[in-house]
Structure 1
Amino acid sequence: MMKGLQLESERLVLKVLDDLYADKVLDYFNRNSDFLNRWESIKTAEFYTLDFQKQQLKDELKKMEEGKLLKVWIFEKEDIEFDNIIGSIALNEIVRGCFQSCFLGYRIDESKTNKGYMTEGVKRIVEYAFNDLKLHRIEGNIIPNNIASLKVVEKLGFYNEGLAKRYLKINGKWQDHIHMVLLNDEMD
């Protein structure tokens, strides 16, 4: 279903990857480990191995085939060989039935911050989620002091549904998160 999916925006290509890209995914995480650590769960040493990343990509493809996940990796359009990953966007825990909802997650390369790439990429994924996947609701949970991340979703029309106390264990500590939501106004 999702294997081979490739979406484009003005400056970006958003691409579902298989395990053949594990070395590029590993390179992305190695380059950005210090930058990402403050916003993510603690990673084991095994996470930073090629075998782990290969298995992770296989597991993600399986979840995508089951309709539970959409995960794309971000490349700049001029990178026609897809050599340098600059981020990823995921729609996690896609639930169907009467819910038609998911959780949004994203990360960007430290060297590509403040260029509008993440806003552009998330906008394209939201369009795909609402128009193609027919989702009704996208939820993002963001640490209050992650101002850059909050700006991304606010620019795209997400609204604040409140503060979730000690919501996720990030960088070894339970942290509060602002619950941001975007509804598909086209769905009844």
Structure 2
Amino acid sequence: MSEQQVYIRFSEETDAAELAAMYKRNQEFFEKFSPSNQEELYTEEHQLQKIMKYKADMMEDRRYSFVVCHKENDRIIGSVDLSFVMRGPLQNCMIGYSLDQAYNGKGYMTEAVKLVVRYAFDELKFHRIVGEVSPRNPGSIRVLEKAGFHKEGISRSNVKINGKWEDHQVLAIINPAEDVQL
């Protein structure tokens, strides 16, 4: 296997400006596949507030937010979130991610998703992780498939994007340490 090109870490307050700049650069691209974002998403202040909220969420086991950094220059090129954390008998969460369009198609997000999945299974002890992707975004579906996720079905009229309800492909991965058939 080739040497790792990216690494992940939890977002920090000092990342706010770099994250705001990445989202602003990619605003048109991200909004094609994500729920309509408010303009403040692209400000440093909003990113700072988001990071502080995510840190509190992490302390309460509700959400885990990572930045994806390119090893060559430590630049933030994306983000990966584990949200909708459900404990008890479910032990699952949902994965979501964004990658600077300039870095698409190089395997970086697949690498980052694999790192987050490993962390989710080994450290957070999740049993299952679900991802939901617009069928209009085959590259994102490939990211999850290459990271070991399997297609499960379509959630019809699932997410409102740019004023229109859209279907989403549901993919999931089960913790291999717990994937025991009875």
**RMSD value, Cα:** 1.3
Q: Which residue of 2 aligns with 1:104?
A: 95
* Alignment correspondent of 1:56: 50
Distance in 1, Cα, partners of 2:123 & 2:159: 30
Equivalent residue in structure 1 for 2:25, among 31, 54, 66: 31
Deviation at 1:26, TM superposition (A): 0.6
Partner of 2:141: 150
- Aligned counterpart, 1:5: none
Matched, 1:15 2:20: no
1:87 partner SS: strand
Q: TM-score, normalised by structure 1?
A: 0.89
Q: Deviations over 1:101-160 (max 9, x none)?
A: 000101111000000001111011111111111100000011112100111111122111
The equivalent residue for 1:126 is 117
Residue in structure 2 matching 1:160, options 143, 146, 151: 151
Identity %: 35
CA distance in 2, matches of 1:176, 1:140: 13
Cα distance in 2, alignment partners of residues 48 and 156 from structure 1: 29
Aligned letter for 1:52? H
In structure 2, runs of 5+ residues without a counterpart are none
Counterpart Cα distance in 2 of 1:20 and 1:59: 14
Cα distance in 2 for partners of 1:185, 1:46 equals 40
Shifted more, 109-118 versus 47-56: the winner is 47-56
Q: Name the residue aligned to 2:59.
A: 65
Residue 179 of structure 1 and its aligned partner are, at CA, apart by 0.9
Inter-partner Cα distance in structure 2 for 1:46 and 1:154: 33
Alignment match, 1:3? none
1:43 counterpart = 2:37:
yes
Deviations, residues 156-187 of structure 1 (Å, cap 9, x unaligned): 22111111101111233211001101111212
Aligned-partner residue type, residue 37 of structure 2: K
Whole-Å separation in 1 of the counterparts to 2:163 and 2:10: 29
Aligned counterparts of 1:46 and 1:177: Cα–Cα separation in 2: 26
CA distance in 1, matches of 2:147, 2:44: 35
Aligned length: 177
Unaligned runs of 5+ residues in structure 1 are 1-8
Q: Which residue of 1 aligns with 2:81?
A: 90
Structure 2 CA distance for aligned equivalents of residues 29 and 156 of structure 1: 24
Greater CA drift, 131-140 or 166-175: 166-175
**SS across alignment from 1:86:** strand
SS of residue in 1 equivalent to 2:135:
coil
